[in-house]
Amino acid sequence: MTAYRAFGDEANKQALRADIRDKGPVYTAWLTHASMEGDLTPISQDHGLHPALVRLLPALGAFGEGEEAPAFYDALLAAIPVGAETGNIARRAILLAWTDPVYGRARLVEAGPAREACEAVVALLRQSLAATTIDKPTWRAARAKLAQVQRDASAPEKVVDLVLSLAWDLETTPGAAQDAMVAWTAQVSAEAEASDEDPFTEAEATYFKSTMDRINEEIIASMGDEGDDDNFSYEAFLEEANRRWAADPVTQALKVRSLAKQARVKAKLALWRTAIQQKVLDDAKTLGM
């Protein structure tokens, strides 16, 4: 395990919590979409949090898109004792992507070579929880085996891709934690869409997309020079788009249905995120016991 120890001292912990609550500069650089391109190394260096946990948390909190995100982050930081080793919080969190009884991927892979290869990866992840050093060839062999059965068998491709993101040593490749959480988010979202109560027919989906593309292209063309980055007004674009959609009852009805579907999918995704956040928070609370 690495030598990262949470916060260093109580004053640093409380300063970090205050920044998160206020959506300060650390929050902005770390827990929003800015983290996708930014260097998060200073977070670990300045605050003693394991690099894998640092990279996991932005995706776990939906990159700060929800108003509830700062409260979750604050509660999590409050639960982590000063001096704690936090790498296993990240390991157990991504392990849930396979093991969670409601949202885990294990329920989607039938018995056979693909499941055996997935379970071999999960076994290595569990082994790494015990501070056991697993060498690079072992991780590499597990990834190779899983990639091979993905080519040979009828395993769910996206599930295998997610498990591949689990097959990395988080001490040397901490970014894999974020890859796993992003992949899991995408799969839960896709499942929510596929099970929606009011799906578009193929014809409706095609017509809706072509209409949206046409309206957007027409508005951008009509804005001329105003469409460049310096002068573009999203508010004006949105107002004109709404006017054009409303002008046709058929397209407007599809838009209303699309927006309602988006809201339902977002709500289902929020239920998943809340459940996983609570499990991560509960795990963090055990560090002080």
Q: What are the DSSP calls for 156-176, one per residue? A: -HHHHHHHHHHSS-TTT-TTH
Mean pLDDT of 274-284: 97
Q: How confident is the model at residue 268 (pLDDT cuts 50, 70, 90)?
A: very high
Q: How far apart are CA 64 and CA 84, in angstroms?
A: 25
What letter does residue 63 receive in the DSSP assignment?
G
Rounded to two decimals, the pTM is: 0.88
**CA-CA distances (angstroms) from residue 79 to 66, 136, 180, 285?**
21, 33, 24, 5
Q: Are 121 and 166 in contact (CB under 8 A)?
A: yes
Query: Would you tell me how many other CB atoms lie within 10 Å of the CB of residue 246?
Result: 11
The pLDDT of residue 227 is: 45
- Please give the distance of CA 254 from its chain centroid, rounded to a whole number: 29
**Cα angle value 272/277/282 (rounded, 5°):** 130
What pLDDT, on a 0 to 100 scale, did the predictor assign at position 234? Answer: 84
User: What are 90's two structure tokens?
Assistant: 């990240």
Amino acid at 288: G
**For the residues 260-270, what does the mean pLDDT come to?**
95
Q: Where are the alpha helices (DSSP H) in 31-68?
A: 41-47, 51-60
Residue 207 has pLDDT above 50, yes or no: yes
Tokens 């827990």 belong to residue: 31
Distance, CA of 247 to CA of 209 (rounded, Å): 17
Residue 192 has pLDDT above 50, yes or no: yes
pLDDT tens sequence across 40-81: 999 999 999 999 999 999 999 999 887 889 999 999 999 999
What is the mean predicted confidence (pLDDT) over 196-220? 93
The pLDDT of residue 152 is 78
